[in-house]
């Protein structure tokens, strides 16, 4: 933290163009070494190399998007009621930022926070997940090689309570930017709130995907498979609640159950504890009367693999309907029509993303108007946001800030209003 504070002052004196150029150099070097980076991610998380390569490319794109802000970071000018006064905005760094992240997509998680934080002129201390320490360390070294001055980005390893909490508690830290579970987010918000630090929380989801009676069912099945099971369901934007209209429910259930059973390897979950927790949740749902239509078991006895799992008959207030499992598990819900579907979608403590499959623009827009979600998708998955799109949720999915997109600049900088009196003699 002291290193970040010391380096920050000089770093903030560089022009935004220069800082953007350094972010671009980091992104270019990462692109050049995408195989090495992705192999490391695959090794530390167990995810397939192809998936890790896609994530590395997304991190690179985030770098390029942020770098472009060096020559595009527009502010505002506005009016004043007093004569001869011009008002304009400047973006100022926040200071020292603590960046605490999840394991699920290690390099994008670093990129989404570190690149805008660096660009905005902050000093940063990054605390990666204890489950994915290697790629963050490697990327920290890469930043130095690409020309980032020492101290501007520091990588600190360790468990949450012992390595993360001291950052949250320390008065040297001006901004706490956290991505992880709502449970941890609550602990962090309390600690950071005690000293009124700027606090940005990007938390979990229990995202719903609605299939209407006019949807293309084959495409909807494909999107559910991708949204619910890719990365073994370890996405904040994963679709875990599949809400289907009565008229097509039986048909859709048959197709989806068959496709889920045929899906094969979706990669392991992150740890034995995660696997045990997910399997226990499935068992509890079964004991509560739910039917497992596909999966529901561990796969093999090496590594932490859970079969893609589809269940139905879960009560709306059962834990499997309310709690984020962060694993390859989705539940089906039968609804009568759009109003009923919206009610089910909104019956959740979370509000990150939501999707609807329909041929009707009216239904799609009405859905967007009515659902409590930070991101709405029509005729695709619940995931898939890109670097230029602000991402963040409502309710217990976050604190209202968005990361990525231009909105990320609001997280990592402060807007200062400057009042200029043109000529004091005239004022």
Q: Which residues bind ligand NAD (CB under 6 A)?
A: 100-104, 127, 129-130, 159-161, 164-165, 168, 179-181, 184, 187-188, 202-205, 236, 324, 326, 398
Strand residues in 55-105 grouped as ranges (E): 77-78, 85-93, 96-100
- Cα 96 from chain centroid (whole Å): 22
Helix (H) or strand (E) holding 11: helix 2-13
Cβ closest to ligand NAD, residue 40 vs residue 167: 167
394-395 vs 350-351, strand pairing mode: antiparallel
Report the SS3 class of residue 369: helix
Give the shortest CB-51-to-ligand NAD separation in angstroms: 15
Cβ closest to ligand NAD, residue 20 vs residue 116: 116
Cβ closest to ligand NAD, residue 11 vs residue 350: 350
Cβ closest to ligand NAD, residue 91 vs residue 383: 383
DSSP letter for each residue of 229-251? HGGGG--TT-EEEEEEEHHHHHH
Give the shortest CB-204-to-ligand NAD separation in angstroms: 3
How far apart are the C-alpha atoms of 2 and 132, rounded to whole Å?
A: 25
Give the shortest CB-115-to-ligand NAD separation in angstroms: 15
Give the shortest CB-250-to-ligand NAD separation in angstroms: 31
Give the shortest CB-170-to-ligand NAD separation in angstroms: 12
Q: Where on the phi/psi map is residue 360: left (φ > 0), alpha (ψ -120 to 50), or beta?
A: beta
How far apart are the C-alpha atoms of 62 and 40, rounded to whole Å?
A: 19
Cβ closest to ligand NAD, residue 164 vs residue 296: 164
Give 262: exposed, middle or buried? Use CB within 10 Å, 0-12, 13-18, 19+: exposed
For residues 66 and 23, the answer to whether their CB atoms sit within 8 Å is yes
Give the shortest CB-374-to-ligand NAD separation in angstroms: 9
Q: Which residue is nearest to ligand NAD (CB)?
A: 160
Cβ closest to ligand NAD, residue 244 vs residue 306: 306
CA nearest neighbour of 131 among 110, 153, 159: 159
- Dihedral, 419, 422, 426, 427 alpha carbons, nearest 10: 0
Q: Which residues carry out catalysis? A: 236
Q: Give the other-Cβ count within 10 Å of 44's Cβ.
A: 21
């Amino acid at each position: 933290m002291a290193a970040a504070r010391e380096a920050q002052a000089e770093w903030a004196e560089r022009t935004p163009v220069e800082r953007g150029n350094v972010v671009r150099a980091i992104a270019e070097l990462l692109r050049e070494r995408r195989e090495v980076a992705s192999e490391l991610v695959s090794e530390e998380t167990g995810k397939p190399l192809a998936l890790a390569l896609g994530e590395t490319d997304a991190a690179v794109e985030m770098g390029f998007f942020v770098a472009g802000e060096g020559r595009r970071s527009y502010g505002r000018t506005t009016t004043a009621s007093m004569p001869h006064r011009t008002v304009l905005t400047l973006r100022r760094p926040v200071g020292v930022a603590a960046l605490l992240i999840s394991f699920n997509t290690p390099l994008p998680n670093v990129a989404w926070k570190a690149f805008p934080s660096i660009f905005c002129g902050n000093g940063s201390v990054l605390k990666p997940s204890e489950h994915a320490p290697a790629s963050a360390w490697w990327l920290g070294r890469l930043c130095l090689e690409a020309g980032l001055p020492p101290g501007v980005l520091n990588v600190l390893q360790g468990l949450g309570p012992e390595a993360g909490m001291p950052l949250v508690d320390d008065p040297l830290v001006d901004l706490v930017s956290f991505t992880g579970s709502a449970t941890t987010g609550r602990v962090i918000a309390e600690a950071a709130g005690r000293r009124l630090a700027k606090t940005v929380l990007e938390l979990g989801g229990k995202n719903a995907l609605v299939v209407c009676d006019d949807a293309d069912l084959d495409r909807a099945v494909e999107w559910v498979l991708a949204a619910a099971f890719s990365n073994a369901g370890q996405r904040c934007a994963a679709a875990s609640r599949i809400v289907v209209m009565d008229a097509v429910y039986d048909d859709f259930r048959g197709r989806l159950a068959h496709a889920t059973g045929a899906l094969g390897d979706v990669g392991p979950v992150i740890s034995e504890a995660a696997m045990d927790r997910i399997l226990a949740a499935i068992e509890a749902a079964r004991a509560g009367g739910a039917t497992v239509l596909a999966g529901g078991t561990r796969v093999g006895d090496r590594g932490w693999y859970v079969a893609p799992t589809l269940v139905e008959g879960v009560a709306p207030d059962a834990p499997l309907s309310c709690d984020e499992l962060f694993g390859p598990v989705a539940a089906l819900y039968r609804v009568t029509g759009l109003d009923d579907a919206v009610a089910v979608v909104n019956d959740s403590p979370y509000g990150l993303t939501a999707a609807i499959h329909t041929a009707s623009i009216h239904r799609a827009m009405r859905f967007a108007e009515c659902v409590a979600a930070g991101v709405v998708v029509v005729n695709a998955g619940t995931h898939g946001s890109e670097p230029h799109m602000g991402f963040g949720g409502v309710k217990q999915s976050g604190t209202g800030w968005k990361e990525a997109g231009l909105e990320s600049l609001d997280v990592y900088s402060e807007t200062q209003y400057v009042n200029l009196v043109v000529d004091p003699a005239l004022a």
